[in-house]
Amino acid sequence: MAGLDWTYGVSTLRQWEDPQESCVVMSGCGTSGRLAFLISSGFNKALSQLNQSKVYSYIIAGGDRALLSSQEAPEDDPRLGVLSLKKVCEGKKRVLFIGISCGLSAPFVAGQLDFCLQHPEVYMPVLVGFNPAHQARDEPIQDCTFTFHSVVQRMQELAKSQKAFLINPAVGPEAISGSSRMKGGSATKILLEVAFSAAHAATFSNTPITYNGVLEHMKAYERTLDVTYSQTDGITTLVEAAGQSLRCSRHVYYLGWGSLALLGLIDASECTPTFGADYEDVRGFISGGYRELNNNDGPLTSLGPKFSIAHEDFLHLILPCLTDKDTVLLIYTHPDDATEVGNMARRVREKTPNLHAVYHQADGDTAASLQQDDIKKLCLSTLKITWPREALASGTLQHMQRELSTKLVLNAVSTGAHVLKGKIYQNHMIDLQVTNTKLYRRATRLLQKLSACPEENCEEALLKAIYRVDMLTVEMTSSDITTHTCFARNSTKVVPLALVILLTSWSLMEAESHLKQQPIVREAVAQWMWELRPLS
Pairing status of strand 428-429 against strand 424-425: antiparallel
Q: Is 28 in the site for ligand F1P (CB under 6 A)?
A: yes
Specify the residue, 31 or 295, whose C-beta has the smaller distance to ligand F1P: 31
CB of 26 to ligand F1P, least distance (A): 12
Q: Is 267 in the site for ligand F1P (CB under 6 A)?
A: no
Strands (E), 78-222: 94-100, 123-128, 165-167
Q: Closest by alpha carbon to 241, among 377, 321, 358, 369?
A: 358
Binding segment (CB under 6 A) for ligand F1P, from list 27-35, 47-55, 359-367, 423-431: 27-35
Q: What residues have CB less than 8 Å from 241, skipping those under 6 apart?
A: 327, 354, 356, 380, 381
> Would the CA dihedral through 56, 61, 66, 69 be positive or negative?
negative
**Between 155 and 184, how does the x/- string for binding to ligand F1P read (CB under 6 A)?**
-------------------------xx---
> Using CA atoms in the order 113, 117, 119, 122, what is the torsion angle rounded to 10 degrees?
70
Q: Which residue among 9, 81, 103, 422 contacts ligand F1P (CB under 6 A)?
A: 103
Amino acid 469 reads V
Pairing status of strand 123-128 against strand 165-167: parallel
Q: What residues have CB less than 8 Å from 297, skipping those under 6 apart?
A: 63, 64
In the three-class reduction of DSSP (H, G, I as helix; E, B as strand; rest coil), residue 260 is classed as helix
Binding segment (CB under 6 A) for ligand F1P, from list 98-106, 147-155, 391-399, 528-536: 98-106
Specify the residue, 361 or 436, whose C-beta has the smaller distance to ligand F1P: 436
Specify the residue, 43 or 148, whose C-beta has the smaller distance to ligand F1P: 148
Span 74-93, contacts to ligand F1P by CB under 6 A: 75
CA distance 246 to 87: 41
Specify the residue, 258 or 273, whose C-beta has the smaller distance to ligand F1P: 273
CB of 109 to ligand F1P, least distance (A): 6
State the DSSP code for 533: P
Specify the residue, 193 or 326, whose C-beta has the smaller distance to ligand F1P: 193
Q: Which residue among 101, 112, 245, 451 contacts ligand F1P (CB under 6 A)?
A: 101
What helix, strand, coil percent values describe the chain, rounded to 5? Answer: 55, 10, 30
Q: Is 105 in the site for ligand F1P (CB under 6 A)?
A: yes
Specify the residue, 32 or 406, whose C-beta has the smaller distance to ligand F1P: 32
Q: Is 29 in the site for ligand F1P (CB under 6 A)?
A: yes
CB of 340 to ligand F1P, least distance (A): 31
Binding footprint of ligand F1P on the chain (CB under 6 A): 28-32, 72, 75, 101-103, 105-106, 180-181, 270, 273-274
